[in-house]
Chain A
Amino acid sequence: MTAAPTTPPKHARSGGWDNFQRKYAPYIFISPFFLLFFAFGLFPIIFNAYLSVHSWQPGSGLGDMEFVGLRNFTDNLTDPTFWLSLKNTAILAVESGLPQHLIAIPLAFAINMGLKRAQSFITAVYFLPYITSVVAISVIFFTLFSWQYGVLNAALNSLHHIPVLGVLFPGEKVNWLGERAFVQPSIAMVIVWRYVGWNMLLYLSGLQAIPGELYEAAAVDGATRSEQFRFITLPLLRPTIFLAVTLSLIGGFQLFEEPFILTNGGGGVGQAGLTTIMYMFRTYNAYSDAGVAAAMAWLLFIVIGALTIVNNLLFGRSGMGSNEAPR
């Protein structure tokens, strides 16, 4: 029995094991990600593409698919309701997207500049709506917006009775979710409320990347707070703005839960609250027309893709003249 052989006897025989470890083990270790990605990421996309050129009713088996070529796409493109839903989505994206940023940027600036101590508390408060269940939010707002029994109308009506200022507020109850003109603004209001905190957080992190010396130097030169905001904050925040606007754009065109619940799934009066994703869901679920719904998803994908490119040209690195990225 010789102790400690110079080369372990195993080695020669199990060179295969070593080889295996080196060559294949990494793939096994990383495979969970790929398996999940194939099952829940890639497969649905491929299946959706396949579905978009077939006619299929989800109630019958997979064998009942019938190839129809591009008919599903032309069906959508000639469908007035599809265009209406796209228009609604665009309007809602702007109505809810623009105010979010116009509120979030100055808010983040104020918190970053003046409220250092309570910063994390205030950030958390503003961020809370973002992580709350969207169903719970919509149900609460549904109750607030209620025409006959809502708090919002009760508040507006009591403000109406204040002597001089009262004329600014309506004396009649406003049917927020039941009247064509108010449906979209009501939905937009909820979305703004929900996402302001998220955008504020993005901007806050963007602001904290701006070196404090710049502000100090500006203060020495006699620049006021609003001048500092205009000439230092806004230009240096441009990459963050680009990111936040892109996210809002994508999110805005995928609007579903808020309008769905606030309009009881129907889109509200005159379909004013019907977004494209809602219409896609309806086409699949109520109309049992999976192929047309799948084609709609690809059309929406093209729209979002095109808008993102436009956004990139306008606000991205290649846009706005300067190519300098702030350090």
Chain B
Amino acid sequence: MKIQRVLALTALLSATLAAAQGKTTITVGVFPDLDSVVKAALPGFNKLYPNIEVKINSLAYADHHNALTTALSTGKGANDVEAIDFGYVAKFAEGNGMTDLSKAPYNAGALASKFVGFTFPQATTQDGRIVAMPTDIGPGSMFYRTDLLAKAGVKPSQLNASWDSYIANGKKVVAANPGTFLIPDASEAAQIILRTGLKAGDGLYFDKANKVLVSPDNARFVKAFTIAKQIRDAKLDAKAGGAFSPEWTTAFQKGNLATEFSGAWLVGHMQNWLAKDFSGKWNAQNLPGNTFASWGGSFYGIPAQSQNKEAAWELIKYLTTNPAQQVLAFKTTGAFPALKAGQTDAVFNEGVPYLANQKARLLWRTAASKIQPLDVNKLDPIADQIVSDALGSVLDGSKDIPTALAEAQRLIERRAR
């Protein structure tokens, strides 16, 4: 009896000791608002993994990605888990700084079917490595001002029937509401058309064999440029340039925009600061021409230099594949779940107060399932810049469409070696 008790005590002691020694601390590098999602996730995570302690290192959006670049370049200073925004994922995909999650013990490829279809290709390299796991997405829709449309007698369905219908009815909206614009910038229409109607397996600017797709003979590019030019020529756009430019912000705040194409996350900005005064006047609808596109999204990856890859992977799995956690993230910051199982919660049937209680989340969920995957290419950032420059010179009338596209094709081909 006595010996048994001593044995049990020793076993208990050694177990606690082992537990104390087995406690790993990992760090997570994130940017706002994703840091609040991770913070909210930790109590639930620690219940399942009491042996893993998580420290959050949050930096401003650009600083976070710059710090990550530096850490990957020098091979020192990266966190065990790193959040990567959609805009940067291709950049980090092409280097060798991130752990390939497609290999054992991670086998992330087997999880792909659980996620919205277009997310995995964004983080997969040309040679099949998976560098990050998707966590949230930005399914796109057309936001529109119900009051401005009503004044012009235009139905929302007339705006999104087709791009031609969008322009024709858009003219009526602007005519009926002097001082307003149909869209912040004409180039937005081109960007959506470029991202939809792709052939399976093709990327945005390159096909599978790395051939440049930009050319005056490619219908997708010609259509994108033509529609954008029609919008500009009809004086329908505010020439605001990119989203969050001062011109864009002011137009929103003054209530001078009739429509805007963006990800579901725009509603958060609108209700908090961008268009506070116009609550209940905005509504959402699918993009023109029955097209579906994605605006942004976030990923988590493990730098190759991490010393705690196992624990890091547990955290990533929890953040991305746990349905309850994905719903919690959605409730915390409106981060739309990339996990399909995260999209079945009752909260998706609720109306969005800012959008006059419209059940927009169902719209976004359908949109998310229809967005096509785009293959990433390491030259995408260069091609993106060259094509948007070409579009700029078409819009300001200094070049015609065939000339601009032929020139862009030449410039991109020069880089592809």
- Chain A residues in the interface with B (C-beta under 8 A): 57-64, 78-81, 139, 142-143, 146-149, 175, 178-180, 264, 266-267, 269-271, 282, 286-288
**In the bound complex, what is the Cα–Cα distance between A126 and B70 (angstroms)?**
39
Q: Are A282 and B385 in contact (CB under 8 A)?
A: yes
- Chain B residues in the interface with A (C-beta under 8 A): 69-70, 72-75, 91-92, 94-97, 238-239, 241-242, 245-247, 250-251, 254, 256, 304, 378, 381-382, 385, 388-389, 392-393, 396, 398, 411, 414
**In the bound complex, what is the Cα–Cα distance between A286 and B91 (angstroms)?**
8
Q: Are A61 and B73 in contact (CB under 8 A)?
A: yes
Q: Are B393 and A270 in contact (CB under 8 A)?
A: yes
The one of A60, A142, A264, A287 in contact with B242, judged by C-beta atoms closer than 8 angstroms, is: A264
Closest to A63 in B: B75
Q: Which residues of B contact A175 (CB under 8 A)?
A: 239
B248 → A minimal CB distance (Å) = 10
The 7 A-B residue pairs with the shortest CB-CB distance, nearest first, are A59-B95, A60-B95, A60-B96, A61-B75, A149-B250, A58-B73, A178-B239
A-B contact pairs, 14 of them (CB 8 A): A57-B95, A58-B73, A61-B74, A61-B75, A61-B95, A80-B411, A142-B246, A146-B246, A180-B396, A180-B398, A266-B385, A266-B388, A286-B385, A288-B91
**In the bound complex, what is the Cα–Cα distance between A271 and B393 (angstroms)?**
9
The one of A60, A139, A178, A287 in contact with B382, judged by C-beta atoms closer than 8 angstroms, is: A287
**In the bound complex, what is the Cα–Cα distance between A271 and B411 (angstroms)?**
14
Q: Are A178 and B241 in contact (CB under 8 A)?
A: yes
Known: A143-B246, A282-B385. A148 touches B398 (CB 8 A): no
A272 → B minimal CB distance (Å) = 10
Closest to A271 in B: B389
B48 → A minimal CB distance (Å) = 32
Q: Which residues of A contact B378 (CB under 8 A)?
A: 288
Q: Which residues of A contact B75 (CB under 8 A)?
A: 61-63
Q: Which residues of B contact A267 (CB under 8 A)?
A: 389
The one of B72, B381, B388 in contact with A60, judged by C-beta atoms closer than 8 angstroms, is: B72
Known: A143-B246, A146-B246, A148-B247. A61 touches B72 (CB 8 A): yes
**In the bound complex, what is the Cα–Cα distance between A268 and B104 (angstroms)?**
47
Of listed A63, A264, A288, residue having the most chain B CB within 10 A: A288
Q: Which residues of A contact B91 (CB under 8 A)?
A: 59, 288
Q: Are A179 and B396 in contact (CB under 8 A)?
A: yes
Of listed B247, B385, B414, residue having the most chain A CB within 10 A: B247
B390 → A minimal CB distance (Å) = 10
Q: Are A148 and B392 in contact (CB under 8 A)?
A: no
Q: Which residues of B contact A178 (CB under 8 A)?
A: 239, 241
B396 → A minimal CB distance (Å) = 5
Closest to B88 in A: A59
Task: Report whether over half of chain B's contact residues are helix, strand or loop; otherwise say mixed.
Answer: helix
B384 → A minimal CB distance (Å) = 9
**In the bound complex, what is the Cα–Cα distance between A142 and B96 (angstroms)?**
39
Q: Which residues of B contact A147 (CB under 8 A)?
A: 239, 247
Q: Are B95 and A64 in contact (CB under 8 A)?
A: yes
Q: Which residues of A contact B239 (CB under 8 A)?
A: 147, 175, 178
B144 → A minimal CB distance (Å) = 20
**In the bound complex, what is the Cα–Cα distance between A264 and B241 (angstroms)?**
9
**In the bound complex, what is the Cα–Cα distance between A59 and B90 (angstroms)?**
11
Q: Are A270 and B411 in contact (CB under 8 A)?
A: no
**In the bound complex, what is the Cα–Cα distance between A79 and B386 (angstroms)?**
12
The one of B72, B251, B254, B392 in contact with A270, judged by C-beta atoms closer than 8 angstroms, is: B392
Of listed A147, A149, A282, residue having the most chain B CB within 10 A: A149
Q: Which residues of A contact B256 (CB under 8 A)?
A: 148
**In the bound complex, what is the Cα–Cα distance between A146 and B91 (angstroms)?**
33
Q: Which residues of B contact A61 (CB under 8 A)?
A: 72-75, 95-97, 304
A217 → B minimal CB distance (Å) = 56
B182 → A minimal CB distance (Å) = 14
Q: Are B241 and A59 in contact (CB under 8 A)?
A: no
The one of A59, A78, A146, A271 in contact with B247, judged by C-beta atoms closer than 8 angstroms, is: A146
Q: Are B250 and A81 in contact (CB under 8 A)?
A: no
- Known pairs A78-B414, A271-B389; list 7 more (Cβ under 8 Å): A60-B73, A63-B75, A79-B414, A148-B250, A148-B256, A149-B247, A270-B396
Known: A148-B238, A148-B250. A62 touches B73 (CB 8 A): yes
**In the bound complex, what is the Cα–Cα distance between A264 and B247 (angstroms)?**
11
A113 → B minimal CB distance (Å) = 42
B73 → A minimal CB distance (Å) = 5
Closest to B388 in A: A266
Q: Are A264 and B411 in contact (CB under 8 A)?
A: no
**In the bound complex, what is the Cα–Cα distance between A292 and B155 (angstroms)?**
52
Known: A60-B73, A61-B72, A81-B411. A270 touches B398 (CB 8 A): yes
Q: Which residues of B contact A266 (CB under 8 A)?
A: 241-242, 385, 388
**In the bound complex, what is the Cα–Cα distance between A146 and B247 (angstroms)?**
7
Q: Are A58 and B69 in contact (CB under 8 A)?
A: yes
Q: Are A269 and B392 in contact (CB under 8 A)?
A: yes
B412 → A minimal CB distance (Å) = 12
**In the bound complex, what is the Cα–Cα distance between A286 and B378 (angstroms)?**
11
Known: A178-B239, A264-B241. A59 touches B73 (CB 8 A): yes
Q: Which residues of B contact A142 (CB under 8 A)?
A: 246
**In the bound complex, what is the Cα–Cα distance between A149 and B69 (angstroms)?**
38
Q: Which residues of A contact B388 (CB under 8 A)?
A: 266
Q: Are A264 and B73 in contact (CB under 8 A)?
A: no
**In the bound complex, what is the Cα–Cα distance between A81 and B241 (angstroms)?**
21
Q: Which residues of A contact B97 (CB under 8 A)?
A: 59-61
Closest to A287 in B: B382
A261 → B minimal CB distance (Å) = 11
Q: Which residues of B contact A80 (CB under 8 A)?
A: 411
Q: Which residues of B contact A58 (CB under 8 A)?
A: 69-70, 72-73, 95
Of listed A59, A63, A147, residue having the most chain B CB within 10 A: A59
Q: Which residues of B contact A143 (CB under 8 A)?
A: 246
Q: Are A286 and B250 in contact (CB under 8 A)?
A: no
Q: Are B72 and A269 in contact (CB under 8 A)?
A: no
**In the bound complex, what is the Cα–Cα distance between A147 and B97 (angstroms)?**
43
**In the bound complex, what is the Cα–Cα distance between A287 and B251 (angstroms)?**
32
Q: Are A148 and B251 in contact (CB under 8 A)?
A: yes
